Amino acid sequence: MPPKNYIPAKMVVYQPSAGVKKDFETLLERFTETGTVRYEKFAEIWRSMKMNLYCAGRQNDREVREFIEECFHIASQFWLPPSSFQVRAGALYLLYGLFNFQLCMPRVKIRVTHKMWSDVIEFQAQAREEQHYDLDFIFHKLRLQNAFYFVSEHRELYLATTNFHQTQDLLVPDNFRDETTILEEVFSQDFMEQLSAIHEQYYKMKVALAGPDATTPDRSLDVMENKLIDNITKTMNAFKERRQGRSSRKRKQTEGESSEEDQEDDSSDNDEDSDPTFTPGNIINTKRSTIKASAYTGLAKASRSRRHRQVVMEEDSSPSKMEKKREILKESDADELCQESVVVEYSPKKNAKGKPVSEEEEEVEKEKDHTFSLDMPCLTRDDNSIPGSSADKTSSKPLSKGKKSKRMTGKVLPKMLPNLEYKKKEKEKKRPGQKKRKA
């Protein structure tokens, strides 16, 4: 059973309101810092943030309309108690701005329920009493513009394809969320406390049964381990450590990979570490690379019938090394090579339906056999055994001319490994005559 708030990443397709709340909060925060409720101050902040272009990039009228409805819904929350007077004033100006700068005809209106309205009227009365004429003026202007719909519910209620209570939580996109496990939810603090209380009472009962002077329970009642709670917490801690260890190891791995292969990637990784606020592209990059890395670390063991073709990890495939390989390949005897080793090319993973597996699915698969990936060797730079990206097909060309390579299926391509190359060279030394057969 998935946890309550769990939504698979695939389900979250498009959230029009992503980031809106954050924008409004920064705007209102800056407004409260000024310590006044004057419109000029608000206008200054609004201008500096260029809020008048808040609809930018929404592709068509439909999209704008939906987006603005969401904006009004969020903004009107600030307009109501328990917000402070200043925030509410800011929210009124905000609604005024949002309403007038919407790129939508006819204009989307602000939905006001009866309860909201009475709160707002109270607020306006207070503003009038304190002679904040600009507040009063703008409120009246909005009313004259017919900016409000007087409704019974905050939103239209219709069969929800996604539960909107859940989408509310998802204002932060799933990329920025921490992964949670069901174990942590099951063994929550509350649960553990309850369990320990029950266990204690159980133990006391057993002692009481043994006799008035007894300190330990009767041996015949030993059906439960006494350190049950301790053991569970220990296991949980170990589990947490392992998770953290895994993620940190992954990061290490990707950093190692990027520093060697791609300078840009490396810098982006550092960016992510130092500035966790907002770098979507980089986050995706690192995520992808971690997935890739973990996917390529694992190798399936060949069956007994195919033991002569053991699958071997492919080495580094950076362009400079590739050239070297090609040189060696040209020199070496292709036929012999095929007998020695076969490396499976990593074509994109495919699932049962034949569609390429998406990142999320890959991740799920990875989760499933995480014990497997945990056992994988931790890769470091010195080992020089960093998993390569997609295989370079040009390297296989000279081989395809070889007789034995014809037997091979499309996906299985012979590749070389440094240690094999080394062996090869040794063999070549022994049999120098064979060297130029291919050429």
Partner 1 sequence: MEAGVLHQTVSDVISIREFLQSWDASVIHDSRREAKDSADIETFAELMELDKETVKELDQVCSLDHLKNTQEPVDRWRILGEIPEDLNLMCVRFQKREMEKRKDPAYNMIVQKKIRQKMSTRMNMPTLNQTRRKIPPQFQVTYPEVILTVHIHKPMLTMKDKRPTLTNEHSFLVLGHEKLTELRDYIRCTNDLAIPGDQSDFPDCVMHNYAKDIFKSGFFYIEGTFYNDTRESDCRDYSQNIIKWAKEKNLGQMESHLMEECTFLDLKIRLGQPYVYVHQGDCEHIIIFSDIRLLSSEDPQDTREYPFLTFRIRSRRNVCKVCMTRTAKWVVYDSEYAPENPCFFCDQCFRPLHYDINGIKKGEFKAYKYFDNQAIV
Q: Which residue in the set 28, 37, 64, 344 belongs to the binding site for partner 1 (CB under 8 A)?
A: 64
CB of 258 to partner 1, least distance (A): 21
Binders in 276-305 for partner 1, by CB under 8 A: 278, 280-281
Is 339 one of the binding residues for partner 1 (CB under 8 A)? no
User: Applying CB under 8 A, does 58 fall inside the site for partner 1?
Assistant: yes
- Closer Cβ to partner 1, 284 or 364, answer by number: 284
- Residue whose C-alpha is closest to residue 250's, from 429, 379, 412: 379
Q: What does the DSSP assignment read for 390-415?
A: SPPGGGGHHHHTSTGGGGS-SSEE--
CA distance linking residue 40 with residue 53, whole number of Å:
19
If the CB atoms of residues 12 and 299 are measured against partner 1, the closer one turns out to be 12
C-alpha to C-alpha distances, 258 to 286, 289, 292, 417, nearest whole angstrom: 9, 9, 12, 21
Question: 83 and 75 in contact (C-beta within 8 Å)?
Answer: no
Residue 133: CB minimum distance to partner 1, A = 6
User: Which residue in 31, 37, 54, 127 binds partner 1 (CB under 8 A)?
Assistant: 54
In a 13 Å sphere around the CA of 432, the CA atoms on its Cβ side amount to 1
- Nearest approach, Cβ of residue 360 and partner 1 (Å): 13
Of 97 and 387, CB closest to partner 1: 97
- Is 160 among the residues that bind partner 1 (CB under 8 A)? yes
Q: What are phi and psi of 412, to 5 degrees?
A: -90, 115
When the beta carbons of 65 and 424 are compared against partner 1, the nearer one is 65
Residues within window 86-145 making contact with partner 1, judged by CB under 8 A:
97, 100-101, 103, 106, 109, 111, 114, 117, 128, 133-134, 136-138, 140-141, 143-145
Sequence letter at residue 151: V
Q: Which of 28, 37, 46, 256 binds partner 1 (CB under 8 A)?
A: 46
Burial class (CB in 10 A: 0-12, 13-18, 19+), 85: middle
Stretch that binds partner 1, among 29-37, 161-169, 251-259, 320-328 (CB under 8 A): 161-169
10 vs 360: CA distance, rounded Å: 7
CB of 89 to partner 1, least distance (A): 13
The answer to whether 39 touches 138, Cβ cutoff 8 Å, is yes
